Amino acid sequence: MKKSWIIIIIIVIAVFVIGGWFVGKYNTMVIANETVDEKWAQVENVYQRRADLIPNLVATVKGYASHEQETLQGVVEARAKATSTTIDAGNMDAASLQKFQAAQSGLSSALSRLMVVVEKYPDLKANENFIQLQAQLEGTENRITVERMRFNEAAKVYNLSIKVFPNNMLAGMFGFDKRAYFTAEETAKTAPKVEF
């Protein structure tokens, strides 16, 4: 009788230890996954901040450079495309992230063209409202870079957590999939050609 109680106690302890270990590993992967979702939300937040600044920037430029309608329209269209391209953080894959990144790159290109146009208008460059908007836009671009880096770091931690043994077995059982990273744009891989 005493022997059977000892065996039962050992089995119960083993179940608790093994069960606790499984729960701990599962919870670690859930926390890493939620951290990636949180970082993604912050990426979307700073991109939205940039999108919110653009109408004011376009309106300010329009007052000085009304005949640059094609450039201004390009910025407005790129903003519309960028804000309409969204990703569900829970179903993010490399293709959807690439599509999102392409839309945001289109907006960045349109803003770059707008800044080139601005160079032709010294009065606009001296306008206090424009200077403040430009500073806010520059700060937002820096925030975008930081938040993208933080997202990639969180995705790396998560991806590593689901790839290491024995987590990889649990990740497969519970549907934890690899998360995509932000990557450099194709144009960033080629050095610009400078001619004097």
Q: Which CATH number fits the domain that encloses residue 127?
A: 1.20.1440.20
Contact assessment for residue 57 and residue 114, using Cβ atoms and an 8 Å cutoff: yes
Q: For residues 33 and 25, what is the distance between their CA atoms, to the nearest angstrom?
A: 12
Whether 63 maps to a domain, the answer reads: yes
Give the mean pLDDT of the chain.
85
Phi, psi (deg, nearest 5) at residue 36:
-65, -45
Whether 22 maps to a domain, the answer reads: yes
Number of helical H runs and strand E runs in the chain: 6, 0
Q: Report pLDDT for 187.
A: 52
Q: For residues 49 and 140, what is the distance between their CA atoms, to the nearest angstrom?
A: 7
Q: For residues 168 and 35, what is the distance between their CA atoms, to the nearest angstrom?
A: 19
Whether 11 maps to a domain, the answer reads: yes
Q: Which domain holds residue 154?
A: 2-180
Contact assessment for residue 136 and residue 56, using Cβ atoms and an 8 Å cutoff: no
Whether 191 maps to a domain, the answer reads: no
Q: For residues 107 and 76, what is the distance between their CA atoms, to the nearest angstrom?
A: 9
Residues 6+ apart with CB under 8 A from 190: none
Q: What is the pTM assigned to this prediction?
A: 0.77
In tens, the pLDDT along 70-79 reads 888 888 888 8
Whether 190 maps to a domain, the answer reads: no
What is the DSSP-derived secondary structure letter of residue 90? G
In tens, the pLDDT along 116-174 reads 878 877 777 777 888 888 889 889 999 999 999 999 999 999 999 999 888 888 888 88
Across the range 100-128, mean pLDDT stands at 84
Q: Which residue's structure tokens are 């910025």?
A: 75
Q: How many domains is the chain partitioned into structurally? A: 1
Q: Which residue's structure tokens are 């160079």?
A: 119
Whether 185 maps to a domain, the answer reads: no
In tens, the pLDDT along 129-141 reads 888 888 898 899 9
Cis peptide bond prior to 55, omega within 30° of 0: no
Q: For residues 104 and 175, what is the distance between their CA atoms, to the nearest angstrom?
A: 30
Whether 192 maps to a domain, the answer reads: no
Whether 186 maps to a domain, the answer reads: no
